[in-house]
A and B are shown apart, each in its own frame.
Chain A
Amino acid sequence: MKQPIISFKNVIKCYDDDVPVLKNVSFEIEEGKFYTLLGPSGCGKTTILRMIAGFSEPTEGDIYFEGRRINNVPANKRQVNTVFQDYALFPHMDVYDNIAFGLRVKKLPKNQIDQKVKEALKMVQLAGYEKRGINEMSGGQRQRVAIARAIVNEPKVLLLDEPLSALDHKLRLDMQYELRELQQRLGITFVFVTHDQEEALAMSDEIFVLNNGNIVQSGTPVDIYDEPINHYVADFIGESNILNGTMIKDCLVEFAGKRFECVDEGMRENEPVEVVLRPEDLDLTDEEHGKLKVKVDTILFRGVHYEIICYDDEGNEWMVHTTKKAVPGTTIGLYFDPEDIHVMRFNESEEDFDARLESYED
């Protein structure tokens, strides 16, 4: 394996009040990939970003950049640039001067600066905006200037601190495509911080899901979505139906008062577990053909699909996403395949989880 570009080794961060914001975090980031740190506010994701940027030092543990320890290297000496949440564009400079800032600090010759700034502007589709004042630009345009100002310095790693959170929905979706494309074109490592799971799923090569100062799960978007490690991840990423159940034996699980065939293995017999079923994996059928009998409670039109809330005989709530319509008050059947069931053990570490999955997959 290639040497990781950034690695955190047992990093702990405490602020004044001694409650650690990061509790022993270790991870590695490879060159040229799009990483996302995903978690709710206060989970420590921004703290990690600040440490990579050099605005914060770990209380314990080490941070390495290309194998070199950088705990005490100040921000201006790191080959890392940041796109700030509020963009942090210099209001007393025009677009050109903002983007040229880093290059001028490095004392590059004028014609080189000129060429690089123009290239960066073209890259973010703002060619011709050089002389524009920052206050004359829209949120989306400022966002692009902030990105141009960072990438013009050709950093090895680009950090993005919730850069899309201030944009409206439509623009946010467009920017997701653009950021992804930009990252692939430039080939540099992106570390993107967000609390928005949709953003994370859409753009990332690799997601770190954080909670309470710990990395709970890391993996590709598909891995994390299809095989969440625990209740927290399943609930945070996407919509899900999570039920308590019992693992009768390998590939047989009991929940909602019935036994179902599944594809999960490696657990103790009769171990209490949690079961995840994604709303879009549930199909509506009639009572006889369904694996579960449920009563329709409410139905919401969501545009691309209906969101139907039903209750089974045991009182468990089931959310179904479907293009079919159902009538509230009627009893219907729910159908799902064995692969649609995902079983989670309580308190399983990521290591054990990965090892168990590997033992029976392929």
Chain B
Amino acid sequence: MKKYNAFFAIPYFLWLVFFVLAPVILIVGYSFFDSNGNFTLQNYATYFASGKYLAMTFNSVLYAFLITLLTLVISYPTAYFLTKLKHRDLWLLLIILPTWINMLLKAYAFIGIFSLHGGINRFMTFFGLAPHQILFTDVGFMIVATYIQLPFMIMPIFTGLEELNPSLIKASRDLGANAFQTFAKVVFPLSLAGVKSGIQAVFIPSLSFFMLTRLIGGNRVITLGTAIEEHFLVTQDWGMGATIGVVLIVAMFIVMIITGEKKKGGRN
């Protein structure tokens, strides 16, 4: 029996080694070499010494935080009302559907919608408002990033809410709690696990958006993702690119730990 188990684990194990472990080791390795192939700690020194990189890091975290917050604020009520709907599967499908479309396509679609002669501005001029620059602004970037991340926040929260045992809500009402108290004391705390996985699913990828920053943000929004791309593809400074990569990986671990599952049950 044990042999079989080990046998079935081989594909997963190989995947882990080649596509998870090896790349991480490579990135960490590269971060200790300069562009001439000499071992050095200079990359890290540059990273932490120059205000440029730290500002970029701060920017990344700030934008990722704002995007996460915005998606959360939109997603929680959406997921909540979704659980009350009759044709849930259909609504859910409509929410998941956009994730099947390539991100590049969606970005280009937004360029069309946001541009000076695009849908939104035409709509505004129709009501006598002057056209506004939406494309290549922070706001435009935030809107599109939030739009793209929404399904990844809605899904785990929805699942969490739907798994909630309905008799818990009844029990709360039975014990004298009104609808609001029931939500605050029972529903919300029990949906936190879903909220946490939603935050992980949104915050971590948002740290390293780079295509959107260019296409929608017009390179005005520089995040760590953009910086990595520049280092690897433009300046060819793989060492520095890898260093930023390592910083991102560490940042992700920090997020995972903060939002990680804690043992429930009120142990002392």
Residues of A that sit less than 8 Å from B by CB:
53-55, 74-77, 80-82, 84-86, 88-94, 96-97, 101-102, 105-106, 131-136, 149-150, 153
Q: Which of under 10, 10 to 19, 20 to 34, or 35 or more describes the interface residues of B?
A: 20 to 34
Pairwise interchain contact B168-A90, C-beta atoms closer than 8 A: yes
Sample of 11 further A-B pairs with CB below 8 A, known A76-B178, A150-B175 = A75-B170, A75-B174, A82-B174, A88-B170, A90-B186, A90-B190, A92-B189, A92-B264, A102-B176, A105-B176, A132-B266
- Given known A-B contacts A92-B190, A101-B185, A81 and B266 have beta carbons under 8 A apart: no
Pairwise interchain contact B171-A82, C-beta atoms closer than 8 A: yes
**Does chain A have a CB within 8 A of B173?**
yes
Pairwise interchain contact A88-B265, C-beta atoms closer than 8 A: no
- Given known A-B contacts A90-B168, A101-B185, A131 and B174 have beta carbons under 8 A apart: no
Chain B residues lying within 8 Å of A76, measured Cβ to Cβ, are 173-178
Choose among B171, B264, B266 the residue that contacts A84 (Cβ–Cβ < 8 A).
B171
Interface residues of B in 131-175 (CB under 8 A from A): 165, 167-168, 170-175
Pairwise interchain contact A101-B170, C-beta atoms closer than 8 A: no
Residue of A nearest to B263 (CB): A133
Pairwise interchain contact A81-B175, C-beta atoms closer than 8 A: yes
- Given known A-B contacts A75-B170, A86-B167, A93 and B266 have beta carbons under 8 A apart: yes
Choose among B167, B173, B181, B265 the residue that contacts A135 (Cβ–Cβ < 8 A).
B265
Residue of A nearest to B267 (CB): A133
Residue of A nearest to B174 (CB): A82
Inter-chain CB contacts under 8 Å: number: 81
Pairwise interchain contact A105-B181, C-beta atoms closer than 8 A: yes
**A–B complex contacts, Cβ < 8 Å, 23 sampled:** A54-B174, A55-B170, A76-B173, A76-B177, A80-B174, A81-B174, A82-B170, A84-B170, A86-B167, A90-B168, A90-B172, A90-B186, A92-B189, A92-B190, A92-B264, A101-B177, A102-B176, A105-B185, A131-B266, A131-B267, A131-B268, A134-B265, A135-B265
Q: How far is the CA of A89 from the CA of B264 in the complex (A)?
A: 14
Contact flags B87-122 to A (C-beta < 8 A → 1, else 0): 000000000000000000000000000000000000
Chain B residues lying within 8 Å of A135, measured Cβ to Cβ, are 264-265
Q: How far is the CA of A150 from the CA of B178 in the complex (A)?
A: 17
Main secondary structure of the interface of A (DSSP, over half): mixed
- Given known A-B contacts A55-B170, A97-B266, A88 and B165 have beta carbons under 8 A apart: yes
Pairwise interchain contact B265-A106, C-beta atoms closer than 8 A: no
Chain A residues lying within 8 Å of B181, measured Cβ to Cβ, are 105
Among all A-B residue pairs, the 10 with the closest Cβ atoms: A133-B265, A94-B266, A102-B175, A88-B171, A88-B167, A75-B173, A105-B176, A105-B177, A82-B174, A76-B176
- Given known A-B contacts A93-B266, A97-B266, A74 and B173 have beta carbons under 8 A apart: yes
Q: How far is the CA of A55 from the CA of B264 in the complex (A)?
A: 30
Q: How far is the CA of A116 from the CA of B177 in the complex (A)?
A: 18
Q: How far is the CB of A137 from chain B (nearest CB, A)?
A: 10
Q: How far is the CA of A310 from the CA of B150 in the complex (A)?
A: 72
Q: How far is the CA of A74 from the CA of B169 in the complex (A)?
A: 13
Q: How far is the CA of A74 from the CA of B172 in the complex (A)?
A: 12
Q: How far is the CA of A162 from the CA of B130 in the complex (A)?
A: 68
Q: How far is the CA of A175 from the CA of B177 in the complex (A)?
A: 28
Choose among B170, B175, B266 the residue that contacts A133 (Cβ–Cβ < 8 A).
B266
Chain B residues lying within 8 Å of A91, measured Cβ to Cβ, are 190, 264
Interface residues of B in 220-240 (CB under 8 A from A): none
Pairwise interchain contact B174-A53, C-beta atoms closer than 8 A: yes
Chain A residues lying within 8 Å of B268, measured Cβ to Cβ, are 131
Chain B residues lying within 8 Å of A132, measured Cβ to Cβ, are 265-266
Pairwise interchain contact B165-A86, C-beta atoms closer than 8 A: yes
Choose among B167, B175, B178, B266 the residue that contacts A153 (Cβ–Cβ < 8 A).
B175
Chain A residues lying within 8 Å of B170, measured Cβ to Cβ, are 53, 55, 75, 82, 84, 88
- Given known A-B contacts A86-B165, A86-B167, A88-B165, A133 and B264 have beta carbons under 8 A apart: yes
Residue of B nearest to A82 (CB): B174
Q: How far is the CA of A135 from the CA of B263 in the complex (A)?
A: 11
Chain B residues lying within 8 Å of A74, measured Cβ to Cβ, are 173
Chain A residues lying within 8 Å of B266, measured Cβ to Cβ, are 93-94, 96-97, 131-133
Q: How far is the CA of A6 from the CA of B171 in the complex (A)?
A: 21
Contact flags B198-240 to A (C-beta < 8 A → 1, else 0): 0000000000000000000000000000000000000000000
- Given known A-B contacts A55-B170, A75-B170, A101-B185, A149 and B175 have beta carbons under 8 A apart: yes
Pairwise interchain contact A105-B175, C-beta atoms closer than 8 A: yes
Q: How far is the CB of B260 from chain A (nearest CB, A)?
A: 16
Pairwise interchain contact A88-B168, C-beta atoms closer than 8 A: yes
Q: How far is the CA of A123 from the CA of B172 in the complex (A)?
A: 22
